[in-house]
Structure formats: structure tokens, C-alpha cells
Amino acid sequence: MHDFPVPDVWLPHRVSYGETDTMGVLYYAEYLHLFERARNEYTRQHGIRYSVVEQRGIFLPVREARCRYRAPARYDDLLHVRAGVSELKRASLRFVYEIRDQDKRQLLAEGMTQHAFVDKGGRPVAVPPWFREAFLK
């Protein structure tokens, strides 16, 4: 059985030609772009715009990223990218992701990104209460 954290969001994404490679499939680095799009969508759906977070002097650089590639995606495929938060600690955050096919049935890839909360100078800061509240409801 597969547990995915709630709440989650789904983002549809059509594979473009420029995202594919000579093997005729979605290039492996593009999955990290899709993860980013999905976590932005998660953030937006929880009432936070990441651009506003940065305006408040808080940044969430990626400390680690992982992806497992289970089945290829091809040009013009409609994918669904799922994002959720699996961990929200004092000064860090972990997103998890799935990429599924058109019917959301076949799992094509899964991954995670670990983020730190830092100020403009790169120093760790605690997750602000307004962020924590909005993010997990």
C-alpha cells in the first residue's frame, strides 16, 4: 500500500517537445521542473504565493532532491503531478511527489525535495506561524 500525505494537490502537465530527448522520452532533469511546478501549486492553493514569501525575506532553497523513474513519459502525454508535505520541522520542510499518467493510474515517477528556511543571508530561520498555519490546513 502506498501512503501519500494529505492535503495534496494535482497539477496537469502536457509534455512538450523541448522537454524530451533523443530517446524520445521526458528528460530526467525535467522531472525536477515538474516537482517545482507542483509545489508552487500546492503553495498557491494554501493561500501563499512563494513570491510573497520571498518578499518577506524568507527563502526555501532545495537541500536535497530525489527521483525514482518507473516508466517513461513521451511527447504530448498528459501527466498529473501530485505534491504533498511529508514533514514540516522547525526550520525545514519536505515535499513528496508522484507523477502519474493521464488516468492517474500508472505511477511514472516519485520523488522528494528537502528545503531549508533561510533569510536573505542564507542563515536558518524558524518556519513562521502564518506559514505553518496556512500550509497544513
135 counts as binding a second copy under rule CB under 8 A: no
Four-CA torsion 33, 39, 40, 41, nearest 10 degrees: 110
76 vs 133, which CB is nearer to a second copy?
76
Neighbouring-strand partners of residue 13? 79
Selected binder of a second copy within 7, 12, 57, 61 (CB under 8 A)? 61
54 vs 133, which CB is nearer to a second copy?
54
Selected binder of a second copy within 8, 10, 48, 50 (CB under 8 A)? 50
Catalytic one of 8, 21, 76, 101: 21
Segment (H or E) for 93:
strand 92-100
Selected binder of a second copy within 4, 7, 12, 14 (CB under 8 A)? 14
Cell 528556511, residue located: 117
Distance CA 25, CA 19 (A): 8
Catalytic residues: 21
